[in-house]
Amino acid sequence: MICVIDFDGTFFKNDFFKEAFFRKLIRNPFFIFQHFFLRRGSLLQLKQLLLSELVVDYNPSLLINPAVLQWMETNKKKYDKIVVVSASPLFFVQKIVAPLQLFHAIDGSVERNLKGKEKLDFIIQKWGDDFDYMGDSKADEPIFAKAKHAIRVQDLNTQKNSITDYCKLIRPRNWIKNGIIFMPFLLSGNYQLHILGYLLVGFICFSLIASGCYILNDLLDIENDRRHPLKQKRPLAAADVAVSPAVFFALLLMGIGLALSAIVAVHSTIILLGYLGLNYFYSVRGKRIRFFDMLLLCSFYLIRIFYGASISATPLTGWFVATLTLSILALCLNKRYLECRLSTNSSIAGRKYNKEDAMMLQHLMYNFAMAAIVLLNVHAYFVLAIQSPYFFFLMNIAAAAILFFYFDSNENISDDPVEKIISNKPLLVTLVLFIMLYIYEINAKFI
């Protein structure tokens, strides 16, 4: 008796071809036309092309379906052989599965795409018609019908894609970043309820669009994330969420965000489109350009400020934008500095940095942070005309404390700004007090 097990989506939780396909599609939306119409290529040739480019230099056992592995261990004595047959190219299946030494034989597509009836014909021709089959897709239905026992992997999985997985996918904690949309409004002194309502809607729009961008960026970075000790636990990297519904979900979130923004504030929607364009460039190319990647990360925060100012019709001063730019650049430099410092390899996966860059990034980080504090004082005294000595004393003490707590890697070595702020209670309290002090002093003339 033979047991035949499918490869993608069954033995492995993920589908390697779909992941490679969507990554290629995002990077080059015209490649489908080029392959099928200009080159007259077949689906199997597309699989061979995409999977030949895939470098699996991480531990693939992280992606094995634990329910299938347990089932194999429990039922292995029932079968003479347990084999894997896949529609993926044979060279790729062998490269991934052979080192595991779990199967008696490994088969995949060579000259024909072993999917559906083609796979059934192959199984009967090689192994006969006395077989059990484990699969996951509708294409497996003809094989299920002929197998002695049909084992659907969905029936084995006790953990389905849950709301929790999708919540992790959209990173709701990162929505805290979008709170800076309210900054121009809070500093304007023009506190009108209807403007606050528009800003709340704008906050929701930006959060939905940013979450959609996070999903697509995670898909593009999926191979690098699987090499990272912490990022490999992200829903897409861990294959807790399938790639096809994840892409659909991302597009849905971005579509809802743009549509809602167009209803509330059409002119501000242009800024959201600019954010989408820059985010796309960052994901497909920008993140691999030294220093320019940090300028793009900085621009994402500044766009939030411009978006909030546009909705609330609040003019921004050059001093304010300059101070904010230097502050954000310091945070971005800290992010790259920690990536270099914590990397176990000489180079950073997916980035054009190496461990030797850590010292340079650290010096730039401190310099930008100090320059931001200087500009903050100049802006408060000369532009906002704040004269209170107590304000400048408290503001500079608080600013120094924020820098210490944020850059103190003994307290928190996370490279995520939101994680650093939330998990570091002294930093969080000091930051809140600093913001309250600044808002109070600026708006004192309106009281």
Task: Say whether both 168 and 112 belong to one domain.
Answer: no
Task: Say whether both 310 and 324 belong to one domain.
Answer: no
- Per-residue CA distances from 302 to 147, 322, 325 (Å): 59, 10, 7
pLDDT at res. 247: 97
pLDDT at res. 276: 96
CATH of the domain at 30: 3.40.50.1000
Look at residues 156, 172, 198 and tell me which one is the last residue of a structural domain.
156
| Sign of the CA dihedral running 255, 261, 236, 25 | positive
Look at residues 289, 315, 341 and tell me which one is the last residue of a structural domain.
315
Span 181-225, pLDDT tens digits: 999 998 887 889 999 999 999 999 999 999 999 999 999 999 989
Name the more confident of 38 and 219: 219
Look at residues 132, 156, 180 and tell me which one is the last residue of a structural domain.
156
Task: Say whether both 170 and 41 belong to one domain.
Answer: no
Task: Say whether both 12 and 93 belong to one domain.
Answer: yes
Cβ atoms of 20 and 52 closer than 8 Å: no
Query: What is the DSSP secondary structure assignment for residue 349, as one 8-state letter?
Result: T
pLDDT at res. 362: 94
User: What's the rounded Cα separation, in Å, for the pair 444 and 170?
Assistant: 39
pLDDT at res. 230: 80
Burial bucket for residue 119 (CB in 10 Å: 0-12, 13-18, 19+)? buried
Span 285-325, pLDDT tens digits: 999 899 999 999 999 999 999 999 999 999 998 988 999 99
Calculate what percentage of the chain has a pLDDT beyond 90.
76
Q: Is the pLDDT of residue 420 over 90?
A: no
Task: Say whether both 28 and 47 belong to one domain.
Answer: yes
pLDDT, the chain, mean: 91
| Sign of the CA dihedral running 399, 401, 404, 410 | negative
Name the strands in the sheet holding 81-89, side by side, starting at the edge strand that comes first in the sequence.
Answer: 105-109, 81-89, 2-5, 131-135, 150-152
Task: Say whether both 299 and 370 belong to one domain.
Answer: no
How confident is the model over 430-442, as a mean pLDDT? 90
Task: Say whether both 123 and 235 belong to one domain.
Answer: no
What is the bridge-based pairing of β-strands 2-5 and 105-109? Answer: unpaired
Cβ atoms of 156 and 68 closer than 8 Å: yes
CATH of the domain at 175: 1.10.357.140
Confidence of residue 158 (pLDDT cuts 50, 70, 90): low
How confident is the model over 358-385, as a mean pLDDT? 92
pLDDT at res. 438: 87
Question: Domain tally for the chain?
Answer: 3
pLDDT at res. 160: 60
Radius of gyration of the chain (CA): 27
How confident is the model over 396-417, as a mean pLDDT? 84
Which pTM does this prediction carry? 0.90
Task: Say whether both 392 and 360 belong to one domain.
Answer: yes
pLDDT at res. 385: 87
Task: Say whether both 8 and 114 belong to one domain.
Answer: yes
Task: Say whether both 17 and 151 belong to one domain.
Answer: yes
pLDDT at res. 343: 77
Span 61-107, pLDDT tens digits: 899 999 999 999 999 999 999 999 999 999 999 999 999 999 999 99
Question: Cα 6 from chain centroid?
Answer: 28
Fill in the amino acid letter for 341.
Answer: R
pLDDT at res. 162: 75
Confidence of residue 411 (pLDDT cuts 50, 70, 90): low
Cβ atoms of 387 and 444 closer than 8 Å: no
Cβ atoms of 250 and 215 closer than 8 Å: yes
Cβ atoms of 405 and 411 closer than 8 Å: yes
User: What's the rounded Cα separation, in Å, for the pair 182 and 10?
Assistant: 47
Give the range of the structural domain holding residue 282, as residue numbers without chain letter.
163-315
Task: Say whether both 335 and 436 belong to one domain.
Answer: yes
Task: Say whether both 7 and 141 belong to one domain.
Answer: yes
